[in-house]
Amino acid sequence: VSDADIPVQARHVDDVLITHELARRPSRAPAYEAESRALGLLAQEMANNPGGVLRKCAELVMELCHADSAGVSILEPGDTGSIFRWHTAVGAFAPNIGGTMPRDASPCGTVVDRNSVLLFNKAERFFPDLQGVEPRIYESLLAPWHVSGEAVGTLWAIKHTPESRFDAEDARLLQNLSRVASAAYQMITALTEAKAAGAVLATLDLAAIMTRNFNDTIQFWSAGCERLYGWTAAEAAGRSAHDLLGTVFPVPRSEVEATLEDCGVWSGDLRQRTRDGREVVVAVRKVLHRDAEGRPVAVLESLADVTEARRAEQALRASEARLKELQAELLHVSRLSAAGEMASALAHELNQPLAAITTYIRAGQLILTSDQGALAPERVVEIKRVIDRAAQQALRAGEIVRRLREFVAKGKAEKRPEDLRKLIEEASMLAAVGMRKNDIHTTFRLDPVLPPVLVDRVQIQQVLVNLIRNAVEAMAGENADDTPPYRELVVAAAPCDPEMVEISVADTGPGLAPGVADSLFEPFVSTKPNGMGVGLSICRTIVEMHDGRLWAELNGEAGTVFRFTVPRARADVSEGDHT
C-alpha cells in the first residue's frame, strides 16, 4: 500500500472524526421496514441460536448500512490495562477476528468515552495500531455497546474503499441495532450464567442439605436428604425435623441450641432414623441464619451419612484395643511359659538342698547309731551341726519353692467355650507382630462349620503363636541351598471326631532332622539359638492339659506340619459357668 493520500499523523482525535459531516451529507430515507425485518431476524436468532446473535447482528449491520465489514468489539481486561477485542467480524475484516487494541489507543475507546455514535475517517492517522491493518479502513462508523447501562464495547461498520460514504441513516440503524443486540446479548449472557448457576445448585442439591425455621419446621429438603433419609421433599416439608428423624443428640439438645445461638454454628454426630427405620449416624454442620435485624430466622444443616465410617472407626478402635489386650495376655503367657522353663531349672536347683538335707540327716543317724552308749561331746557337737545345716538347707529349699510360686502365681488355666476361627485369627495376628514374613504365602483352611472349643484361649493361642512363629522361622533360611522354592504357611482347622477339633500349622521349611524329631517335645531341646523362650514341650503340656494331643509329621515332601487337638465345647457348657 503506497497511497499518497495518507496524511501525516493527526495530532488530535478530532482530526480523524468526521461525525459532523453526517448531517451535511445527503441521507436516504429511514428504512424502517428493513430495520423491523432485521430486528425480527435478530429475535429469531436469539430464540434459535443464542450463541449466534452477535454474528447475526454484524451481518445485519453489513447489509443495512451497506458496509464492507461489520463487527462487535468488547472491552476486556488485558495484561497492561483494558483492551478491545474484535469479538465478532464479518465481511472483508473477518480475518482479523480475535485481534486486540489498547482501550485508549482505539477508536472504540473514544466511542465508549463519549457514549455516542462516531464516524472516523482513516482513523489510522491518529491510532497507529490500525496502520498496516488489512484491509485498509477508510470510513468507520461505531456505536457504543451497552451492558447493564454501561458502555463496554462497540458495534461497528467499515468502508474499505476511499470513495464510499456512510450517511445519517446508517448511523441511526447502527445505533438502534446496537441497543437491541446488546440487550439481547446481555439476556443471553445472563441466561447462560443462570444455567451455570442452576447446574451448581443442582449439584448442591445432591448434597444432603436442609433448612428449617426456628420452630424446627423443615423448609428446604435437598435431593441428598431424600436419598439419605428416604423421605421426599414433599413429605418432609412442614414437618418437625426432630420428630421426623427421631434425632438423638450427643449432648443435651438445649446445649446444641445454645451453641448455635452463641456461635452461629454447631457440628457433631447425630443418631437418626430413616423412613424405613434404619438407624444412621449423621455428621451435621448447623449454621444459623439471621435476618437484617439479627434475629435468627433459619438453620441450614449440611448432613453426611457417616454410619459406615463411624462403624469402621469403632471396629478399628476395638481391634486396636483387642490387639493391645492380646499382647498383654501374650506377655503374661510368655511369663508363664518362662515359668515353665524356670520350673525345670528350679527343680534342678531344688535337688541341691534336698540332696544335702538327706545326706546331713543320714550323717546324723550314722553318728547316733555307730556310737553305742554315751556320745562323746565332740560327736554331740557334730550332730548339732549337721541338724542345723540340714535345717538351713530346708529353708533354702522353701525359698526356691516360694520364688517359683510367686513367678507362676497367675498361671491357672481357665477353659471356656471359644470361637476357634476368631481364636486362630487373633493368634495369627499376634504371631505376625514383629515377624518378618519374607515371601511367605499364608493360607487359612478353616472348616466353614467350626464348632466352639472348650479351651483356655490365651494358652491355646500361645501354642498357635509358637507353632506359627516356628513355621515362619523354619522357612526363613538364608542359605541358598536351604531355601525352599516355595514358602507356604497353612493354618487349618476342622473337626476330626465327635469330641475333638484338629488344628494344624504346616510349613514348607527344611523339615525335621531325624534326631530332632524324637526329642522335639522335650524340655531344653531346641534347634534354635534364641526362640521365643517357649518350648514345644510347653505347647505339648498346654495341649495335654486340654486333653488333646500335639504331634509333628512330615508335610508331604518338604516341611513339617504340627497338629494338635482340642475338645469341642459341649452344648451345656456356657460361658457363665465360670467363676
Partner 1 sequence: MLHVGGTSNTDTAALGSAVYVIDDEEPIRDALAALFQSARVRVETYPDAISFLEMLPRLGAGHACVLADVRMPGMDGIELLHELRKRGVSLPVVVMTGHGDVKTAVQAMKAGAIDFFEKPFDGTTILGAVQAALSASTALSTVEQMGNNHILANATQAVEQIAALTPRERQVLDLLAEGKPNKAIAYQLGLSPRTVEACRARMMSRLGARSLSEAVRLWVWSELATETGSSGLEC
What does the alpha-carbon distance between residue 239 and residue 257 come to, in Å, rounded to a whole number? 19
Nearest to residue 562, comparing CAs of 473, 470, 487?
470
Of residues 63 through 102, those in contact with partner 1 by CB under 8 A are none
Contacts of 359 (CB under 8 A, 6+ apart): none
Closer residue to partner 1, CB minimum distance, 117 or 552: 552
CB of 497 to partner 1, least distance (A): 16
Cα 328 to Cα 152, 334, 426, 461, distances in angstroms: 77, 10, 13, 13
> What SS3 class is residue 196?
helix
Task: Tell me how far, at minimum, the Cβ of 330 lies from partner 1, in Å.
Answer: 25
Residues in the interface with partner 1 (CB under 8 A) total 35
Instruction: Work out whether 544 is an interface residue with partner 1 (CB under 8 A).
Output: yes
Q: Is 548 in the site for partner 1 (CB under 8 A)?
A: no
DSSP string, 414-447: --EEE-HHHHHHHHHHHHHTT---TT-EEEEEE-
348 vs 578 by CB, closer to partner 1: 348
Which of helix, strand or coil describes residue 346? helix
- Whether the Cβ atoms of residue 545 and residue 497 lie closer than 8 Å to each other: no
Residue 488, burial from CB neighbour count under 10 angstroms (0-12, 13-18, 19+): middle
Q: Which of 164, 445, 551, 554 binds partner 1 (CB under 8 A)?
A: 551
Q: Which stretch binds partner 1 (CB under 8 A): 122-130, 304-312, 381-389, 484-492?
A: 381-389
Which CB, 383 or 427, lies closer to partner 1?
383
> Which CB sits closer to partner 1, 207 or 517?
517
260 near partner 1 (CB under 8 A) = no
- Judged by CB under 8 A, does residue 356 bind partner 1? yes
442 forms part of the interface with partner 1 (CB under 8 A): no
With both helix axes pointing from N to C terminus, report the angle between 307-370 and 457-474 in degrees, rounded to the nearest 10: 90
- Interface with partner 1 (CB under 8 A), residue from 126, 138, 185, 360: 360
- Residue 463 within binding range of partner 1, rule CB under 8 A: no
Residue closer to partner 1 (CB basis): 202 or 355 = 355
- What is the closest distance, in whole angstroms, from the C-beta atom of residue 351 to partner 1 in the complex? 4
The answer to whether residue 437 forms part of the interface with partner 1 (CB under 8 A) is: no
Helices (H) and strands (E) in the chain, counts: 15, 18
- Interface stretch with partner 1, choices 189-197, 256-264, 328-336, 517-525 (CB under 8 A): 517-525
Strand partners, 489: 442
Helix axes 307-370, 536-545, angle to 10 degrees: 100
Torsion of CA 351, 353, 354, 355, to 10 degrees: 80
Using rule CB under 8 A, residue 355 touches partner 1: yes
- What is the number of residues in the chain? 579
CA–CA separation, 303 and 298 (whole Å): 16
Span from 103-111, 276-284, 354-362, 483-491 in contact with partner 1 (CB under 8 A)? 354-362
According to the binding rule CB under 8 A, does residue 372 interact with partner 1?
A: no
370 binds partner 1 (CB under 8 A): yes
With binding defined as CB under 8 A, does residue 358 bind partner 1?
A: yes
Of these, 164, 352, 438, 574, which contacts partner 1 (CB under 8 A)?
352
Which of 385, 402, 410, 570 binds partner 1 (CB under 8 A)? It is 385
Exactly one of 36, 115, 164, 351 binds partner 1 (CB under 8 A); that residue is 351
Are residues 391 and 369 in contact, defined by beta-carbon separation less than 8 angstroms? no
Chain centroid offset of residue 141 CA: 61
Query: With CB under 8 A as the contact rule, which of the stretches 29-37, 92-100, 201-209, 361-369 interacts with partner 1?
Result: 361-369
Least distance in angstroms from the C-beta of 376 to partner 1: 12
257/240 Cα distance (integer angstroms)? 15
Nearer to partner 1, 317 or 384 (CB): 384
**540 binds partner 1, rule: CB under 8 A:** yes
| Interface region with partner 1, contact rule CB under 8 A, candidates 132-140, 284-292, 410-418, 514-522 | 514-522
Is residue 412 part of the contact set for partner 1 (CB under 8 A)? no
CA distances from 528 to 423, 480, 521 (A): 27, 19, 14
Stretch of 77-85, 103-111, 294-302, 345-353 lying at the interface with partner 1 (CB under 8 A): 345-353
- Do the beta carbons of residue 127 and residue 142 sit within 8 Å? no
Rg (CA), the chain: 50
- Which residues of the chain form contacts with partner 1 (CB under 8 A)? 347-348, 351-364, 366-367, 370, 382, 385-386, 389-390, 392-393, 396, 518-519, 521-522, 540, 544, 549, 551
